[in-house]
Structure 1
């Protein structure tokens, strides 16, 4: 219904403004054609006048649509979305040429409506464009918020919340109740983020409001806004209600941030709020007041948004996809369980000191990141200067999509790319930190994810305890072939249907 309305409004609007823009467009096209003739642009599907390739766009699974197109047009492909030119990178080789050899040129972010709103007009780390303020915020975050030392300081929180999850599952396993692993992973990551980020327990954050805001933000983050691609038609976003939805969601999020900030500024605040991410941000704000790039409250809220939205969904998604892959490959799960149980004996629980010894578990996580990256289509970048990639010229202000899903299936980089085979990472130096361009779940270079250590620590500890504590089975009457691998729409690649399994407590004292 909404798609039909969009295109009816779009057709009407084009009819009204067509004559007005005709002469200007023709003159602009003449100038552009002279310039384009001198450029060697990447290949791509031919679009329609004015709207380009928007009519072909598949919003529910864009990474799959772009992957299919890349099979025809190549690993460096050109598209046009309204007034915005775009390229798509779909192979490890081209990713290296672009993101390593031209890291600076590809370090921008497009000024999209939702990006601007969620980032407080470019005051965060993830969505703001490349400038002096962004460089300072990223440096401070890497040094003070997401450093290895700081991630280690949150170990007690991770241990406590993972133990709580295992205890809850143990109660259900004793009565043979089906365990919804999707919900368990979601609650686990939210509880950890609530305590490490805001110094509050998940229930104290008002979890229903918390969850509702997060779900709405995930949907709006990939929603279509006319103003992004047709600036003169931005008023349509008001008519369709999209602008109102975005404003309401941002207002609700801002209320959460402000309430939590007020709690932290209270001199009688609880001890749990000392040393959390928000507390560190407030300290940085005071210390950087006289700096050429001071930390403002908008920067604090923008970074809280990064922690709140990016820090919860991605880790939960990865935990679920790993368990989904393992239940479909029992021999791999058995090997992983043998590793962790042999390493721990009758210790009873896995802590983070045990993780370095679990090489097969680490290989499983890498393989899951390759096949099921939490963000299969990276947050779009934008070129901040003209550059050349693989012999093609990429103009400034070109939107850039890195298809992480396609790169993980690149047959030139991976042998048997569609097969889930963690053994490929044993005795391999390939890692997910952005230096190996066939595995880019967290990006690379200047735009690499600063919270990678925090997220991976949660995933490793949770999975190690799930595999150590329980033997996992499918519910009665279900076969592994019945488990679907569909993804729900959104920024993060959540499994569309919840993963529900039976757990049998492992008797490690035997």
Structure 2
């Protein structure tokens, strides 16, 4: 773990370079929430890493070392944990699920989620995925015929909410066709509020509620009511199906097999001495909804920035997609979907330049010594992602948008032919034991949406690309992604 030898003089946190701050406030006044990630990256370029800044009086160390990031993530959850304020606030939201939960509760929940998001499960789910993609196509076809500008980020979030709900909970809210399904609007409030409260100098909402806090609290009540109704309907279905199976097998030797993540969690919850509560099940439902909506939709949206401003690239992706789709409007099978490498590559390359997770945040559970610096237990650590992905030692021409660098044939060229390509520097799904369990589902969604869009439409940005900015709402999202679509 890059521990300093005993004979080496250790630096303390206060010995690290730091941007000039103010008494009591530290550097808070220099870190506007929407763009603070860009400031952290600028300080890294100016000061080098590791450096330290302060949230009020709390020091936060900032690192930019890809090997160190991998080493820290390998030693989760026994030596490092996620940044504690995230878990504390998500507990208040009733959303302390697999993403943020720590300790012994993590592993059994991980197994359940990994099973639900496994390749065989997603393969079996593919017809539903294709049907929801067709629904998105019809929505975009209507917009194209009417000449309307499409808010692509909003539509993509509706798509991912429908996919996640159908896959994980066995119910499809159909937000793509039901314009005023509130769950999508309510979920969209959670990550910005999480970011705001994580960055707040103190827990002001425990003492006073501003209009934004009251609106969020009301939305959260509705979301949790929706989740409890989901759970009740799932339990009713499970009881009915178990009763039907019992009638069909009088000896009672056939148990109802859970068909989705929610049923599996409820079966585990309702088992004798499970130690799992309905609140914990609900927290994981909410975690899945939020994670399934935000990250994949944002990755696809960033790809549209490049597709919508490069006619030649879009034509190439369209030809590749049509070659796989044939006469179909949507990729017809899971096997065919696996041939859409270019459609995933345009998303991967976009999120290399515009990382959805601009940094990862951790704390050591015990004192550690990293790169000659002594970090007491509980020290806040931010691990920047973008600098390594913009390093020419990791990627050739790193500022150039080049989806080909992720294609199978290109990766297997010699180093002298393709230049630097270090996939370990791409950490959008994390690494180690807690690598994102939804990465395969995300890849499938990217391939389906990009192939459907480019094969059926021409898409043009309805704004100047230079006006699209990164906004950090816990994830780094585009400030807007308006597009005009025309039928091919």
TM-score bracket for the superposition, by shorter chain length: 0.7 to 0.9
Structure 2 residue runs of 5 or longer lacking an equivalent are 1-8, 242-256, 414-421
The answer to whether the 8 A contact 2:134-2:329 is kept is no
Q: CA deviation at 1:440?
A: 0.7
Do residues 132 (structure 1) and 104 (structure 2) align? yes
Q: CA deviation at 1:140?
A: 2.9
Gap change, CA 1:284 and 1:206, over 3 Å in 2 = farther
Q: CA deviation at 1:94?
A: 4.1
Determine which of 94, 100, 121 is the counterpart of 1:150: 121
Task: Write the distance in 2 (CA, Å) between the matches of 1:165 and 1:373.
Answer: 25
Equivalence for 2:223? 253
Determine which of 294, 306, 320 is the counterpart of 1:325: 306
- Count of residue pairs the alignment pairs up: 448
Gap change, CA 1:347 and 1:482, over 3 Å in 2 = closer
Q: CA deviation at 1:474?
A: 5.0
Query: What SS is found at the alignment partner of 1:437?
Result: helix
What are the within-5 Å matches in structure 2 for residues 301-450 of structure 1?
A: 301-351=282-332, 352-378=334-360, 380-426=361-407, 427-428=410-411, 436-450=423-437
Gap change, CA 1:137 and 1:274, over 3 Å in 2 = closer
Gap change, CA 1:334 and 1:46, over 3 Å in 2 = same
Once the two structures are superposed, what CA deviation does each residue of 1:24-54 show, in whole Å capped at 9, x if it has no partner? xxxxxxxxxxxxx964434332444433322
Gap change, CA 1:279 and 1:263, over 3 Å in 2 = same
Structure 1 residue runs of 5 or longer lacking an equivalent are 1-36, 506-510
Gap change, CA 1:127 and 1:428, over 3 Å in 2 = same
Do residues 264 (structure 1) and 252 (structure 2) align? no
Q: CA deviation at 1:138?
A: 1.7
Equivalence for 2:191? 218
Q: CA deviation at 1:97?
A: 4.7
Determine which of 195, 201, 219 is the counterpart of 2:166: 195
Equivalence for 2:416? none
The root-mean-square deviation of aligned C-alpha atoms, in Å, is 3.2
Q: CA deviation at 1:464?
A: 1.4
Instruction: Output the TM-score relative to the length of structure 1.
Output: 0.78
Query: What SS is found at the alignment partner of 1:304?
Result: helix
Instruction: Output the TM-score relative to the length of structure 2.
Output: 0.81
Determine which of 107, 110, 115 is the counterpart of 2:81: 107
Once the two structures are superposed, what CA deviation does each residue of 1:251-299 show, in whole Å capped at 9, x if it has no partner? 332212112112222259999x972332222122234x435xx332122
Q: CA deviation at 1:69?
A: 0.6
The answer to whether the 8 A contact 1:92-1:410 is kept is no
Task: Write the distance in 1 (CA, Å) between the matches of 2:64 and 2:359.
Answer: 10
Do residues 484 (structure 1) and 454 (structure 2) align? no
Equivalence for 1:239? 208
What are the within-5 Å matches in structure 2 for residues 47-66 of structure 1?
A: 47-66=21-40
Do residues 470 (structure 1) and 457 (structure 2) align? yes
Query: What SS is found at the alignment partner of 2:221?
Result: helix
